[in-house]
């Protein structure tokens, strides 16, 4: 044993010795230290993906509870539970057990609602995360693969949601299942065979709930879990992107170390997410299956909608004209084929391939670790806004009967507004977004060149009034600023460069003593340098370049 008790730095406590023994065998100290020291930037928009991750964890936990009581079978039973208006009604065992979960299992209704709200939140946060990645250009080389995985995760999350929506076998979900069946039947050539393969016969058959159940609780969650793991490992390996700013370059990451700051924040965010889900589940009713009644193919209700993330397909179906294509020889391509299969196919393909498309169009094949502000890439930003408009418009159209009913509009008018809007609005939004981007860019340049408007009006000896501008940096002979735009936010108010006393920190309550801040301000020389210094320290810039005092080995450039 080379290690002796007298070696400098050797642990003397029992715990420390145990840790050394452990490390001798598994050699984890090095990697663990590296991992714990990993730096994550802490811009708020980087937390959107975390919301998705945490709602997925809530989904796994609540879903597991539900499986203890849910019977995924289409066996006919007669309901005899607590809910009087359905007592004596014939239904499938799946619906029966879902009713029992809601009324007779302790905490069952709450868990069902937790699960459903978490599912809605899961997809919503995935989409927000995707939009953040898109609009800041975080998908650029070298992160195209992770973008692809992300799009895969989105599609899987939607499929997971759709299968889960079907399971309770109530009148609403059964109507959705009937539409799924119709979509499968609409596939040219193989539709009928595919339908028979999926349903094991004609609709609805007796197998589909059991099959969807396994897909919902095993198949898709397992793939989701694996893809999430790869998604995050790649994030760790490739390092997080960051917004340009003081001290931030293509070769470093400025932020908080994983341990303790980032871990504490992430843990806190988990509880915030869980809290919001639990609050919704406790206070707001979701999918009251007992009101829908058991599924019966002879029945259908007005305002039968899918959950919001599939509603865009419902919308496209409502807007698409009823153009059946009748081919010779008794072949028909139903109108349903285009809005429910071709359209999402195109949408998701474009989405998945966007990094490659943009690389081709711009010729930009360099690796990027600094993000772009959406205004600096007006074409991409406008394309994104256009796509969001298109999606949003389809989604609204998916609920157009509810909107027509609640706002007392004509449903036919809603359909036509939907059709026309779908064609007119996206280009309009493209142009408007483009103009806004250019305007914002110009304003950044103007402030850099002429300085910040101070609001101080001065009258010159000959009578002219001018507004005094505060230059942001050195000026040339004409008084024009010489700073170049660096892709970071340009301060546009005097307060942002220390024109007034700086804001007292604290989100809910002040965490600083106002008088102390005032004193600190007085001590500091007023000016830009001080403000910038402070910015750097508060952004938690790590002293990552190896600690010579610890004889640290040379570090990778951007760890």
Partner 1 sequence: MSTTNPQSDAQPDDVPRRGRALRTEDTPAAAARSRRLSKARRRVANVAGLMAALVLTGALYSTIAPAHAEEAGASSDADYEAGREIYQNSCITCHGENLEGVDGRGPSLIGVGGAAVYFQVHTGRMPLVRQAEQGPDKPVVFSEEQIDQLITYIQANGGGPAVPSGNLRDGDLALGGELFRLNCASCHNFVGEGGALSSGKYAPSLHDADDLEIYTAMLSGPENMPVFGDNQLTPEEKRSIINYIQTVTEMPDPGGAGIGRIGPVGEGLVIWVVGISALMFGIFWMGTKA
Interface residues for partner 1 in 150-179 (CB under 8 A)? 171-172
Interface residues for partner 1 in 126-145 (CB under 8 A)? 128
What are the backbone angles phi and psi of residue 33, rounded to the nearest 5°?
-60, -45
Comparison of 102 and 382: residue with beta carbon closer to partner 1: 102
Asked if 301 touches partner 1 (CB under 8 A), the answer is yes
Smallest separation, CB 409 to partner 1 (Å): 7
Comparison of 45 and 145: residue with beta carbon closer to partner 1: 45
Candidates 122-130, 137-145, 224-232, 428-436 — which segment interacts with partner 1 by CB under 8 A?
122-130
Asked if 503 touches partner 1 (CB under 8 A), the answer is no
Query: HEC states along 490-540?
Result: CCCCHHHHCCCCCCCCCCCCCCCCHHHHHHHHHHCCCCHHHHHHHHHHHCC
Interface residues for partner 1 in 79-118 (CB under 8 A)? 84-89, 102-103, 109, 113, 116-117
Which of 145, 305, 441, 454 is close enough to bind partner 1 by CB under 8 A? 305
Smallest separation, CB 401 to partner 1 (Å): 4
Which of 168, 306, 374, 378 is close enough to bind partner 1 by CB under 8 A? 306
Q: How many CB atoms lie within 10 A of CB 191?
A: 19
- Cα(74)–Cα(95) distance, integer angstroms: 8
In terms of Cβ atoms closer than 10 Å to its own Cβ (0-12, 13-18, 19+), residue 16 is exposed
Contact between residue 453 and residue 467 where contact means Cβ atoms under 8 Å apart: yes
Smallest separation, CB 90 to partner 1 (Å): 9
Which of 2, 15, 284, 484 is close enough to bind partner 1 by CB under 8 A? 284
Give the burial string for 290-311 (b: 16+ CB within 10 Å, else e).
Answer: bebbbbeeeeeeeebbbbebbb
Asked if 537 touches partner 1 (CB under 8 A), the answer is no
Asked if 282 touches partner 1 (CB under 8 A), the answer is yes
- Cα(481)–Cα(478) distance, integer angstroms: 9
Contact between residue 43 and residue 539 where contact means Cβ atoms under 8 Å apart: no
- Cα(254)–Cα(245) distance, integer angstroms: 9
Comparison of 96 and 187: residue with beta carbon closer to partner 1: 96
In the block, residue with structure tokens 């359209």: 343
Asked if 265 touches partner 1 (CB under 8 A), the answer is yes
Which of 70, 147, 212, 292 is close enough to bind partner 1 by CB under 8 A? 292
Which of 412, 482, 495, 555 is close enough to bind partner 1 by CB under 8 A? 412
Q: How many CA atoms lie within 13 A of 319 on its CB side?
A: 28
- Cα(317)–Cα(327) distance, integer angstroms: 22
Contact between residue 228 and residue 50 where contact means Cβ atoms under 8 Å apart: no
Smallest separation, CB 42 to partner 1 (Å): 5
Asked if 389 touches partner 1 (CB under 8 A), the answer is no
Interface residues for partner 1 in 19-48 (CB under 8 A)? 42-48
Which of 273, 313, 351, 352 is close enough to bind partner 1 by CB under 8 A? 273
Tokens of 523: 């001590």
Which of 409, 428, 466, 468 is close enough to bind partner 1 by CB under 8 A? 409
């Amino acid at each position: 044993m080379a290690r002796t008790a007298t070696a400098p730095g050797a642990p003397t406590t029992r715990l420390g010795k145990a840790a050394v023994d452990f490390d001798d065998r598994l050699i984890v100290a090095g990697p663990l230290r590296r991992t714990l020291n990993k730096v994550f930037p802490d811009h708020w928009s980087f937390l959107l993906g975390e919301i998705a991750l945490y709602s997925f964890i809530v989904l796994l936990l609540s879903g597991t509870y539900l499986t203890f009581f849910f019977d995924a079978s289409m066996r006919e039973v007669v309901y005899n539970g607590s809910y009087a208006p359905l007592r004596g009604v014939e239904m499938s065992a799946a619906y029966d057990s879902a009713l029992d979960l809601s009324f007779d299992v302790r905490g069952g209704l709450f868990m069902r609602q937790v699960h459903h709200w978490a599912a809605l939140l899961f997809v919503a946060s995935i989409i927000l995360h995707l939009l953040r990645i898109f609009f800041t250009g975080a998908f650029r080389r070298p992160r195209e693969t992770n973008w692809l995985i992300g799009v895969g995760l989105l599609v899987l999350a939607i499929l997971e949601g759709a299968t889960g929506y079907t399971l309770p076998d109530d009148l609403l979900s059964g109507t959705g299942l009937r539409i799924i069946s119709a979509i499968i039947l609409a596939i040219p050539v193989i539709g009928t065979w595919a339908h028979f393969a999926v349903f094991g016969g004609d609709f609805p058959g007796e197998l589909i709930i059991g099959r969807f159940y396994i897909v919902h609780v095993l198949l898709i969650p397992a793939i989701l879990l694996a893809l999430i793991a790869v998604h995050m490992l790649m994030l760790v390996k490739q390092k997080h992107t960051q917004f340009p700013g003081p001290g931030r370059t293509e070769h470093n990451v400025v932020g908080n170390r994983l341990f303790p700051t980032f871990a504490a924040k992430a843990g806190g965010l988990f509880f915030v997410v869980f809290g919001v889900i639990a609050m919704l589940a406790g206070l707001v009713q979701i999918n009251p299956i007992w009101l829908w009644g058991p599924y019966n193919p002879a029945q259908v209700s007005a305002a039968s909608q899918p959950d919001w993330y599939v509603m865009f397909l419902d919308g496209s179906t409502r807007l698409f004209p009823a153009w059946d294509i009748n081919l010779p020889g008794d072949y028909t391509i139903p109108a349903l084929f285009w809005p429910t299969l071709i359209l999402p196919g195109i949408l998701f393909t474009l989405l998945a391939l966007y990094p490659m498309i943009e690389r081709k169009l711009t010729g930009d094949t360099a690796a990027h670790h600094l993000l772009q502000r959406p205004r600096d890439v007006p074409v991409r930003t406008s394309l994104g806004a256009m796509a969001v408009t298109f999606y949003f418009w389809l989604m609204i159209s998916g609920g157009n009967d509810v909107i027509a009913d609640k706002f007392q509009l004509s449903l036919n008018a809603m359909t036509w507004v939907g059709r026309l809007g779908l064609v007119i609005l996206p280009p309009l939004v493209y142009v408007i977004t483009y103009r806004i981007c250019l305007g914002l860019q110009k304003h950044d340049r103007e402030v850099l060149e002429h300085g910040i408007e101070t609001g101080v009006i001065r009258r010159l000896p000959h009578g002219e009034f001018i507004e005094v501008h505060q230059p942001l940096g050195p000026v040339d002979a004409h008084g024009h600023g010489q700073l170049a735009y660096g892709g970071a936010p340009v301060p546009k108010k005097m307060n942002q460069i220390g024109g007034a006393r700086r804001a007292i920190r604290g989100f809910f309550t002040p965490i600083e003593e106002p008088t102390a801040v005032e004193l600190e301000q007085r001590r500091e020389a007023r000016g830009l340098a001080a403000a910038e210094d402070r910015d750097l320290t508060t952004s938690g810039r790590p002293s990552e370049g190896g600690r010579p005092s610890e004889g640290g080995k040379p570090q990778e450039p951007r760890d």
